[in-house]
Amino acid sequence: MNKVYGYIRVSTREQNEDRQLLALRQAGLSEKNLFVDKQSGKDFQRPQYRKMVRKLKKDDLLYVKSIDRLGRNYAEILEQWRFLTREKGIDIVVLDMPLLDTRRGKDLMGTFLSDIVLQVLSFVAENERSNIRQRQAEGIAAARARGVRFGRPSAPLPENFPQICRQWKSGSISGTEAARMCGMPLSSFRYRAQSYEAGQMM
Protein backbone atom coordinates (compact mmCIF):
# COMPACT_ATOMS: atom_id res chain seq x y z
CA MET A 1 0.00 0.00 0.00
CA ASN A 2 1.36 3.43 -0.97
CA LYS A 3 2.32 5.67 1.94
CA VAL A 4 1.92 9.40 2.50
CA TYR A 5 4.72 11.39 4.13
CA GLY A 6 5.23 14.99 5.13
CA TYR A 7 8.42 17.01 5.40
CA ILE A 8 8.89 20.04 7.70
CA ARG A 9 11.94 22.26 7.98
CA VAL A 10 12.76 25.31 10.08
CA SER A 11 16.13 27.03 9.88
CA THR A 12 17.00 27.02 13.59
CA ARG A 13 16.02 25.21 16.77
CA GLU A 14 14.44 28.42 18.05
CA GLN A 15 11.97 28.64 15.16
CA ASN A 16 8.53 27.11 15.51
CA GLU A 17 7.28 24.47 13.08
CA ASP A 18 3.63 24.66 14.23
CA ARG A 19 2.38 26.45 11.10
CA GLN A 20 3.76 23.74 8.83
CA LEU A 21 2.60 21.01 11.19
CA LEU A 22 -0.97 22.36 11.19
CA ALA A 23 -1.05 22.57 7.38
CA LEU A 24 0.11 18.97 7.00
CA ARG A 25 -2.34 17.73 9.62
CA GLN A 26 -5.15 19.48 7.75
CA ALA A 27 -4.02 17.64 4.61
CA GLY A 28 -4.70 14.41 6.53
CA LEU A 29 -1.15 13.34 7.41
CA SER A 30 -0.35 11.19 10.40
CA GLU A 31 2.34 12.54 12.74
CA LYS A 32 4.20 9.24 12.62
CA ASN A 33 4.89 9.90 8.94
CA LEU A 34 6.22 13.43 9.44
CA PHE A 35 9.93 14.22 9.26
CA VAL A 36 11.21 17.43 10.84
CA ASP A 37 14.63 19.05 10.41
CA LYS A 38 15.74 22.12 12.33
CA GLN A 39 18.59 23.42 10.24
CA SER A 40 19.45 25.53 7.21
CA GLY A 41 18.06 24.66 3.79
CA LYS A 42 21.34 25.43 2.03
CA ASP A 43 21.80 21.75 1.09
CA PHE A 44 20.10 18.38 1.51
CA GLN A 45 22.52 16.86 4.04
CA ARG A 46 19.86 16.88 6.77
CA PRO A 47 19.35 13.81 8.96
CA GLN A 48 15.55 13.61 8.90
CA TYR A 49 15.34 14.41 5.20
CA ARG A 50 17.84 11.67 4.37
CA LYS A 51 15.98 9.22 6.62
CA MET A 52 12.72 10.06 4.84
CA VAL A 53 14.24 9.60 1.37
CA ARG A 54 15.43 6.11 2.38
CA LYS A 55 11.84 5.21 3.31
CA LEU A 56 10.22 6.55 0.13
CA LYS A 57 9.04 3.89 -2.32
CA LYS A 58 7.58 4.12 -5.82
CA ASP A 59 4.12 5.77 -5.91
CA ASP A 60 4.42 7.12 -2.35
CA LEU A 61 3.25 10.70 -1.81
CA LEU A 62 5.24 13.53 -0.19
CA TYR A 63 3.70 16.75 1.14
CA VAL A 64 5.58 19.98 1.91
CA LYS A 65 3.96 23.27 2.86
CA SER A 66 6.08 25.42 0.54
CA ILE A 67 8.99 24.92 -1.84
CA ASP A 68 11.45 26.79 0.40
CA ARG A 69 10.82 24.22 3.16
CA LEU A 70 12.28 21.64 0.81
CA GLY A 71 15.42 23.75 0.35
CA ARG A 72 16.89 27.11 -0.63
CA ASN A 73 19.54 26.20 -3.16
CA TYR A 74 18.05 26.67 -6.65
CA ALA A 75 20.10 24.04 -8.49
CA GLU A 76 19.82 21.47 -5.69
CA ILE A 77 16.03 21.86 -5.35
CA LEU A 78 15.62 21.10 -9.06
CA GLU A 79 18.00 18.15 -8.87
CA GLN A 80 16.29 16.76 -5.76
CA TRP A 81 12.79 17.22 -7.24
CA ARG A 82 13.77 15.28 -10.36
CA PHE A 83 15.47 12.59 -8.30
CA LEU A 84 12.36 12.09 -6.15
CA THR A 85 9.81 12.17 -8.96
CA ARG A 86 11.75 10.37 -11.69
CA GLU A 87 14.20 8.03 -9.98
CA LYS A 88 12.27 7.29 -6.77
CA GLY A 89 8.96 7.49 -8.69
CA ILE A 90 7.04 9.36 -5.98
CA ASP A 91 4.51 12.19 -6.20
CA ILE A 92 5.03 15.56 -4.50
CA VAL A 93 2.42 18.07 -3.38
CA VAL A 94 3.39 21.64 -2.42
CA LEU A 95 0.44 22.92 -0.40
CA ASP A 96 1.10 26.64 -0.98
CA MET A 97 1.32 26.14 -4.75
CA PRO A 98 -1.44 23.90 -6.19
CA LEU A 99 0.30 23.86 -9.59
CA LEU A 100 3.10 21.88 -7.96
CA ASP A 101 1.14 18.67 -7.54
CA THR A 102 2.70 15.90 -9.61
CA ARG A 103 -0.43 13.75 -9.32
CA ARG A 104 -2.08 16.08 -11.83
CA GLY A 105 -1.15 16.56 -15.44
CA LYS A 106 1.22 13.65 -15.89
CA ASP A 107 1.14 14.24 -19.66
CA LEU A 108 3.88 16.23 -21.41
CA MET A 109 2.13 19.60 -20.98
CA GLY A 110 1.47 19.03 -17.28
CA THR A 111 5.10 18.07 -16.67
CA PHE A 112 6.27 21.08 -18.68
CA LEU A 113 4.11 23.52 -16.67
CA SER A 114 5.16 21.93 -13.39
CA ASP A 115 8.85 22.27 -14.37
CA ILE A 116 8.42 25.97 -15.23
CA VAL A 117 6.66 26.76 -11.94
CA LEU A 118 9.25 24.80 -9.98
CA GLN A 119 12.16 26.63 -11.64
CA VAL A 120 10.60 30.04 -10.95
CA LEU A 121 9.86 29.22 -7.30
CA SER A 122 13.27 27.66 -6.74
CA PHE A 123 14.91 30.77 -8.18
CA VAL A 124 12.83 32.98 -5.88
CA ALA A 125 13.78 30.84 -2.86
CA GLU A 126 17.50 31.06 -3.61
CA ASN A 127 17.29 34.75 -4.47
CA GLU A 128 15.74 35.42 -1.07
CA ARG A 129 18.54 33.43 0.56
CA SER A 130 21.12 35.60 -1.24
CA ASN A 131 19.27 38.75 -0.18
CA ILE A 132 19.28 37.60 3.45
CA ARG A 133 23.05 37.02 3.31
CA GLN A 134 23.57 40.45 1.75
CA ARG A 135 21.38 42.16 4.37
CA GLN A 136 23.28 40.37 7.15
CA ALA A 137 26.64 41.45 5.70
CA GLU A 138 25.44 45.05 5.33
CA GLY A 139 24.09 45.03 8.89
CA ILE A 140 27.38 43.71 10.28
CA ALA A 141 29.38 46.29 8.29
CA ALA A 142 27.13 49.11 9.54
CA ALA A 143 27.42 47.88 13.14
CA ARG A 144 31.22 47.69 12.88
CA ALA A 145 31.26 51.23 11.49
CA ARG A 146 29.39 52.30 14.65
CA GLY A 147 32.04 50.59 16.77
CA VAL A 148 30.06 47.45 17.66
CA ARG A 149 32.40 44.52 18.35
CA PHE A 150 31.48 40.93 17.54
CA GLY A 151 32.65 37.69 19.10
CA ARG A 152 33.47 36.85 22.69
CA PRO A 153 34.87 39.71 24.78
CA SER A 154 38.61 39.45 25.35
CA ALA A 155 39.76 38.20 28.74
CA PRO A 156 41.30 40.96 30.88
CA LEU A 157 45.06 41.30 30.62
CA PRO A 158 47.15 40.35 33.67
CA GLU A 159 48.38 43.32 35.72
CA ASN A 160 52.01 42.64 34.82
CA PHE A 161 51.26 42.45 31.08
CA PRO A 162 53.14 45.68 30.20
CA GLN A 163 56.24 44.42 32.04
CA ILE A 164 56.06 40.99 30.33
CA CYS A 165 55.68 42.71 26.97
CA ARG A 166 58.79 44.82 27.58
CA GLN A 167 60.79 41.74 28.59
CA TRP A 168 59.62 39.91 25.47
CA LYS A 169 60.36 42.86 23.19
CA SER A 170 63.84 43.23 24.69
CA GLY A 171 64.52 39.52 24.15
CA SER A 172 65.06 38.71 27.81
CA ILE A 173 62.25 36.12 27.67
CA SER A 174 60.89 34.06 24.77
CA GLY A 175 57.41 34.44 23.34
CA THR A 176 56.49 30.99 24.65
CA GLU A 177 57.59 31.94 28.17
CA ALA A 178 55.77 35.28 27.99
CA ALA A 179 52.57 33.55 26.83
CA ARG A 180 52.86 31.01 29.70
CA MET A 181 53.33 33.81 32.24
CA CYS A 182 50.16 35.48 30.89
CA GLY A 183 48.21 32.22 30.83
CA MET A 184 47.35 32.35 27.14
CA PRO A 185 48.37 30.64 23.87
CA LEU A 186 51.41 32.06 22.09
CA SER A 187 49.34 33.30 19.13
CA SER A 188 46.99 35.13 21.53
CA PHE A 189 49.90 36.68 23.40
CA ARG A 190 51.47 37.99 20.19
CA TYR A 191 48.15 39.42 19.00
CA ARG A 192 47.38 41.07 22.36
CA ALA A 193 50.96 42.41 22.60
CA GLN A 194 50.68 44.00 19.16
CA SER A 195 47.26 45.48 20.02
CA TYR A 196 48.61 46.79 23.33
CA GLU A 197 51.63 48.36 21.65
CA ALA A 198 49.44 49.97 18.97
CA GLY A 199 47.19 51.37 21.69
CA GLN A 200 50.19 52.82 23.52
CA MET A 201 51.37 54.55 20.36
CA MET A 202 48.01 56.25 19.71
DSSP assigned state of 39: S
Q: Is 37 helix (H, G, I), strand (E, B) or coil?
A: strand
Q: How far apart are CA 119 and CA 99, in angstroms?
A: 12
Within 8 A by CB and 6+ apart from 98, the residues are none
Q: Which of 11, 40, 66, 188 is catalytic?
A: 11
Q: Find the helix or strand (DSSP H, E) in which 199 lies.
A: helix 186-201
Three-state SS annotation for 64-133: ECCHHHHCCCHHHHHHHHHHHHHHCCCEEEECCCCCCECCCCCCHHHHHHHHHHHHHHHHHHHHHHHHHH
Does the annotation mark 188 as catalytic?
Answer: no
Catalytic residues: 11
